Amino acid sequence: MRPSVGRFSGFQAPAPCWRRRPGCLSAAARRTVPRTIPGTNVPEDLRQIIHQRSHGTAAAGFIQVDGRARLKTLRQEGSAKAILPHVGGTVPEVVFLNTSGGLASGDRLCYRLDLGPDVRAVATTQTAERAYRATGAPAEVAAEFRIGAGGWLDWLPQETILFDGAGLKRQTRIELGAGAGCLLLETVILGRAAMGETVARVALDDLRHIAREGRPVFVEPLRLEDATLRRGAAVLGGARAFASLVLVAGGAEDRLGPVRAVAAEPGVDWAASAFAGKLVVRAMAQDGFRLRRQVVRLLGALRDGPLPRVWQN
């Protein structure tokens, strides 16, 4: 016999809510049930779902001690990490990593590197960064570098892959002290060709800004939108991958000859120019693999040392 509930033996507990028929609810009770989106079981007031977003900051600083670069500061927060692999020699490598696995709408990421006077360093990213479809605000990435007098930085991040509908706002700022120099690389790939992906919608707002002692010496904004992709030969001419290499240093013009002598990778269009202590190389290709091979050749003409270790995997 079913046990009674409460003080009175004749009281029967109501049936569980999942066993009640909708028609059994009173008018007042029905008014308290949230309305759902047609064709779904999702209440209307949950239509605007607030997704969790990733935020991260990674910062490192080096100073010169007895002729060698020594780590002075290291800060890691959220999804951003700074890895310092042991590479030998006197030039340290800093590998920045986004542990969230990619960039989605509303994510914020910041990388910082501070090099003291006469410090030389190489900075890169652990793998290609991926920007996924944005349903709201774009992802934001800031890369900020300060190089002291007589110092040098090679900023050689691996490729950024934009998926269809990606939204990315990125700024790369380098502040050079007196007599300092830098080599900057940026590579963008529109989708993964091997996976048959195409990119018809994109919103890329990219800025590269290099200053020496507070005075801008190289400023390059880039905006890539849906309409841009449809302009054909006037923009990318059907290319799915493009890269920019910028060398800022005294005597940068002297590297123009060796750079133009680099063998061209089949399927890659590229050109180089130099002026006023700057050398700029542009390249584009139908796929990222061929473009990467060309970039590696160009880096060989602009650098004396080997590529970062993560590039060799």
CA nearest 132: which of 154, 100, 110, 94? 100
pLDDT of residue 188: 95
What's the DSSP call for residue 228?
A: H
On whether residue 101 sits in a domain, the answer given is: yes
- DSSP line for 81-127: EEE-----SS--EEEEEETTSSB-TT-EEEEEEEE-TT-EEEEEESS
**3-state SS class at 298:** helix
Number of domains in the chain: 1
Give the tens place of pLDDT for each residue, 149-184: 999 999 999 999 999 989 999 999 999 999 999 999
pLDDT of residue 135: 85
On whether residue 273 sits in a domain, the answer given is: yes
pLDDT of residue 304: 87
pLDDT of residue 20: 41
On whether residue 17 sits in a domain, the answer given is: no
On whether residue 29 sits in a domain, the answer given is: no
User: What pTM does this model have?
Assistant: 0.82
pLDDT of residue 101: 87
On whether residue 24 sits in a domain, the answer given is: no
On whether residue 25 sits in a domain, the answer given is: no
pLDDT of residue 44: 54
On whether residue 89 sits in a domain, the answer given is: yes
CB-based contacts of 103: which residues, under 8 Å, 6+ apart?
A: 109, 129, 130, 131, 132, 139, 141, 166, 168
Print the domain residue range for 126. Answer: 57-312
On whether residue 287 sits in a domain, the answer given is: yes
Point out the residues of the chain with pLDDT beneath 70.
Answer: 1-51, 193-194, 231-235, 313
CA nearest 242: which of 187, 162, 182? 187
